[in-house]
Amino acid sequence: MAKKILHLLSALLLISMKCASAAVILQYHHVSEKLPAVTSLSAEQFRAHLSYLRDSQFKVVPLDELLKSLRKGDTLPAKTVAITFDDGYDNNIEQAAPILQEFNYPYTIFVNPKLIDEQQNYVMTWPQLKQLASKGALIANHSAKHDYLHKRLPDESLPQWRTRVSQDITWSEQRIKDEVGHHAKLLAYPYGEFNNELRALVKSLGFTGIGQHSGAVGIDSDFTRIPRFPASGVYSELDTLKVKLNSVPFSIAELSYDDSVTDMQRPSLRIDFKKINFNPEQFTCYVSGQGKGNIEWLNDKQVRVEAVKNLPKGRSRYNCTAPVKGQPGQFFWFSQPWVIL
């Protein structure tokens, strides 16, 4: 009897080690040594990333399947990853696609259909995207022309803004469906920027909203603001990427803040946790350009985070991490993006 119990416990432990309810999404732009370093990495660096995923037994899956599983609350293989590219640059087919094909890894390319229709010379054509789709790439929505979707035009009312942006998103999705046949209803926010109104609109249209703020994704994630880890430019170093690839999401019940696009120079963020699987004393939030932010625990599952100094105009983040109990080298990771007006 004791042996049977031991075998059962061993089996359950093995299952728990092989299954997870979380994943990591990587974000790339250029695979090139000739373009802006801030959004690029070399073919050699990109190959090193994929080699690490293979050698470390990560499971690379299509983004739409990953998100569908998490929405349903299904478990995923441990160490699950999705690979994404923004903007549909021509170097994706010239440099990235052949390497991805070598590894037989699926990936997603977020494109701007109006820029393709205008035949801008830096983006792929519809025939090229169709070619990649035939080999396993998912082509998804990045808005028509990469505009700041959350911004209203001069003298534009809120209802007029909703109509215009709804048309932008749905028209772009239809163009992708017409040309490639894909209709994943995934929207990568241009520049990674979104506010509460845009998130609500995206949800009402039945889309998943995807940002550029860092962090792991899980069953408790808000599907109007899915995080991704940028893996280009200064974020392309493999040693730091390894830590991110092994991160997991906090179990969050609710996020409370005024808006992520705001004129507040020290916006306040409150996080209500479902579970605390970490030592609260090790919970740390870093503010862009400032180091550690101010942290106040309001009760045993609720914390408030603020910047120490005023944030500059433009994009900033609060990046919050904590070591996972009982898992050396693994971290919980959450990022709150801001756009200061």
169-198 pLDDT tens trace: 999 999 999 999 999 999 999 999 999 999
H/E segment holding residue 84: strand 80-86
**CA pair distance 177, 124, nearest whole angstrom:** 16
DSSP characters for 274-334? S---S-GGG-EEEETTTEE-EEEEEETTEEEEE-SSPPPSEEEEEEEEEEPTT-TT-EEEE
82-126 pLDDT tens trace: 999 999 999 999 999 999 999 999 999 999 999 999 999 999 999
Q: Which of 73-77, 134-138, 234-238, 316-320 has the lowest mean pLDDT?
A: 73-77
Split at pLDDT 50, 70, 90, the class of 34 is confident
From the centroid of its chain, how far is CA 218?
A: 11
